[in-house]
């Protein structure tokens, strides 16, 4: 059993898990405009559902405004409808091929709901990491059963792997705390 390749695999998988968490957090609204806010919006046009970023450019001219520049003016109505129906609480206003979205201030109740959602995303990331850890520990146990490594090596390898998961878990907690602070700040 090659412990270094197992550590590299764990490092890669946990890094991907944290990246997924960061992407989910990018789409969570904090009261400030973010181009990632509209990443999940799908527009019914050209006979199928397409991601908004394949039909328009999203930018932030200031902290409280999103600007969506539509490439084909025939899609403006469909994009407005998709944004309105997305559940983000945004009201699009169009002027030609440009759609402006003003970010309304978040209510205290909505901020608390968003912190719960942020916590759920963090917990999903931790569950994913626990599954990765369980898989790695299982591989080490199988190596002991197959007499590839000794029980002393097993304890040492398990301790090394646990250190990786402890640091990655702390990173998830740190990211979650930062996001909750962003959401709750007025």
pLDDT digits (tens, 9 = 90+) for 50-93: 888 888 998 888 878 889 999 988 888 899 988 888 777 778 88
Q: How many CB atoms lie within 10 A of CB 158?
A: 15
What length does the chain have?
186
- Range of lowest pLDDT (23-32, 34-43, 64-73, 137-146): 23-32
Per-residue pLDDT, averaged over 106-127, amounts to 86
Q: What per-residue confidence (pLDDT) applies to 102? A: 84
Residue 33, pLDDT > 90, answer: no
Angle of the 108-145 helix axis to the 3-26 helix axis, nearest 10: 170
| E strand intervals along the chain | 42-45, 48-51, 56-62, 65-70, 92-95, 98-102
* 32 vs 90: which has the higher pLDDT: 90
State whether CATH 1.10.132.20 applies to domain 3-26+107-184: yes
Q: Are 126 and 172 in contact (CB under 8 A)?
A: yes
For residue 41, give Cα distances in angstroms to 44, 79, 83, 130, 180: 10, 9, 7, 31, 23
Which pLDDT belongs to residue 175? Answer: 92
pLDDT band at 128 (very low <50, low <70, confident <90, very high): very high
Is residue 10 within 8 A of residue 164, CB to CB? The reply is yes
User: What are the beta bridge partners of residue 133?
Assistant: none
Helix axes of 108-145 and 151-184: crossing angle, nearest 10 degrees: 170
Mean pLDDT of the chain: 87
Average pLDDT over residues 5-9: 90
pLDDT bin (cut points 50, 70, 90) of residue 30 is low
Residue 186 predicted with pLDDT over 70: no
Note whether 108 and 136 are within 8 A (CB).
Answer: no
Domain ranges of the chain: 3-26+107-184, 35-102
- Taking the alpha carbons at both ends of the chain, their separation in whole angstroms is 52
Average pLDDT over residues 165-175: 93
Does pLDDT of 45 surpass 90? no
* Residue 40 pLDDT > 80: no
Eight-state DSSP code of residue 15 = H
Domain 35-102 has CATH 3.40.50.720: no
Stretch 94-120: mean pLDDT? 84
**Greater model confidence, 28 or 97:** 97
């Amino acid at each position: 059993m090659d412990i270094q390749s197992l550590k590299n695999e764990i490092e890669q998988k946990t890094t991907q898990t944290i990246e997924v968490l960061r992407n989910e957090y990018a789409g969570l609204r904090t009261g400030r405009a973010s181009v990632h806010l509209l990443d999940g919006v799908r527009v019914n046009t050209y006979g199928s559902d397409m991601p908004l970023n394949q039909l328009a450019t999203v930018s932030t001219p200031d902290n409280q405004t999103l600007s969506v520049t539509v490439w084909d003016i025939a899609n403006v109505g469909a994009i407005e409808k998709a944004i309105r129906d997305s559940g983000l609480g945004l009201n699009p206003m169009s002027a030609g091929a440009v759609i402006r979205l003003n970010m309304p201030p978040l209510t205290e109740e909505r901020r608390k709901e968003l912190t719960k959602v942020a916590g759920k995303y963090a917990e999903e990331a931790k569950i994913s990491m626990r599954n990765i850890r369980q898989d790695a520990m299982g591989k080490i146990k199988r190596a002991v059963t197959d007499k590839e490594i000794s029980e002393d090596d097993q304890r040492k390898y398990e301790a090394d792997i646990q250190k990786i998961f402890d640091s990655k878990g702390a990173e998830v907690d740190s990211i979650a705390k930062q996001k909750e602070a962003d959401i709750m700040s007025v």
